[in-house]
Structure 1
Amino acid sequence: MNTFYYCTPEWLKESAEIYRSNPQAGEKLKKLSGKMVYRVKADPSWGIEKDIFFCLFFEQGKLLRLELISEEDGKREAEFIIGATPQAWKKILRKESKFITDFMLGKIKLEKGSKIGVLAVAPHANNVVELLTCVQLVFPDELSIDELEQYKANMKEFRKELAV
């Protein structure tokens, strides 16, 4: 299993490629249609100097987009925007917390869209987590000081290049 860093274009690209190459994954999400955008709130100690967004767009289980997106494009294109701290997202992706529980407790906030709509897609959350964790994922708080500095430099570079 390949290793990728959290909130990087490489992580999302590889996850999308693995998902698209696995018909069983698409079968599990065949009832999922929607345009979701996830906000990872800024946390300089994690190398995230300003909020970062990524989108996950599905049509009946077919993955249309999984990539970083600008805040402006996310607000314009998404049906739902949900946001949380990187620590809260890590707990979801490490399967230490459940999306629906943290959403209902307010640890994950709905920023755009209807709560009823989010609750309608929430049953697919575990399969979405599987999609996002089909690679070995390394989080910034797991890096050495030198690795974190490299992560920060990489993030600064790709954010400028991709305008995200």
Structure 2
Amino acid sequence: MKLRKDGFAVNHSSIKTKMVEIMRSSARLAQDEAEKLAIANFKFSQYWLGHFLKCYDFSLHRKTNIAQKLPDDLKNKLLKFQQFVIRLCQKNNYPLGIIANMDEIPVWFDIVGNLTVNPRGIKTVHVRSTENDKNRFTMVLTCLADGTKLPQNRMIDKILE
């Protein structure tokens, strides 16, 4: 509740981590060996977490997103592109080791989670973030048609070989 009051996101993982801390300190303070054993064997399962949230009247809240609608003829366009690439490879006798697939993925420095635990019935959920929520870098992932995954800065070297 203190983290949520301060505007920080609280997710399942953070609840389990805090419970592990509490159980470890309880085990150190426990006098009875049976109690220590019970604490050591405690399972932090999804079942436990669900009951914990229900017991304290919490629920998981999700940030709303606007989904992009895919074109109706997407499958047809993908099939035509695949056929074009296959014909080009056969015509020019390209080896699979020089055909690459590359994708750029933005990675944000401050990744604010989409989920947080809050009391049930709350209409507005505030989550604090740093001023870096718009700063990001671009990760490039590349693989070749023969199944080779290229490490960073190796795509050009591989093609030039």
Structure with a larger share of its residues in helix: 1
TM-score range, shorter chain: under 0.3
Q: TM-score, normalised by structure 2?
A: 0.22
- Which entry has the higher C-alpha Rg, 1 or 2? 2
